[in-house]
Amino acid sequence: MVLSAINARAYLLITSAKVVHMKSAIKYSAEVAAAVAASRPIVALESTIISHGLPRPSNLAVAIECERIIRDHGAVPATIALLDGVIHVGLEDMELEEIANRDDISKASIRDLAIIVAQGKSAATTVAATAHIAAMAGIPVFATGGLGGVHRGANESFDESADLTALSQLDMTIVCAGVKSILDVHATLERLETLAIGLVGYKTHRFPGFYLTDSGFSLEHRVDSAEEIAEIVHARSAIGTQFKALIVANPVEKEMEKSRHDQILATGLAKAAHDGIDGKAVTPYLLEHFHTASDGESLDINTEIIKSNCALAADIAVALQ
């Protein structure tokens, strides 16, 4: 009995130490900490788009602009990243510059987080990792560019983004321009249905395809305002379906001409196969190919996508309160 009591006390001491250590691995920016204390609306932002999705120096300029847009719409931006083993929820100006300019920033999904923290390394967070950290921090709204999904040829490679698994397990409202058009859109939509992840089109019944306003697939549900989305979020909590994410598909206003898009995609896929690119390296590789082959048009569209999604996400966060 005494031994059991000693063991139990030791377990509690060890567990408490682990909790304190984990808390020390998470740092809130001054702005986000103040917003949490005041119960102000907050919008989570991923950092992979800064480190891997956009070229320098426009990556930093876009990141700063996105944060400004969220503030202008009445919410607080919380860009999420890992720097030297510390999880940051919200970045100070110098930290944002580090994510944009350092050469040792890797790309972290959920499975990488503990390893990177324990080894004191730095990484930008994918959609999956950002959603996971945002959910832990109690931030229910997240803006990104395009989701990951099922890759072409996944019936042989089993290449499917961890974004889908994460969103099937998290209470998160995520605003995006559909899934990246480099993916198998039809297969991704089937997986979203199987995983019971909520999906609505913002002012559209057509599922957007990132650079394209219409991927070629229809949507069952449409919403026309941030307030309507907030009502859906509240209803999800009331009926117990909030343990899966809600995707708000927000199409870009000015799309790439479809035939040009398809031609660039075809050459990019062929080039990636020739160069042996696979796994999580595929997306940044193809995005860079689009940027080069389109003479910067894809970069302009990508920039407009994230700006528009930040504005809508901020409106949703405000409407939720």
List residues with catalytic annotation: 46, 180
The DSSP bridge partners found for residue 123 are: 82, 106
Q: Residue 111 gets which letter from DSSP? A: G
CA distances from 244 to 6, 36, 168, 190, 288 (A): 41, 23, 5, 15, 32
Sign of dihedral through CA atoms 39, 41, 46, 49? negative
Characterise 190 by phi-psi region: left (phi > 0), alpha (psi -120 to 50), beta (else): alpha
Find the DSSP H helices in the chain: 2-24, 30-37, 48, 58-72, 93-101, 113-118, 127-136, 154-157, 162-167, 185-194, 226-239, 258-274, 282-293, 297-320
* Rounded distance between C-alpha atoms, residue 250 and residue 202, angstroms: 5
Nearest to 260 by CA among 294, 229, 299, 305: 294
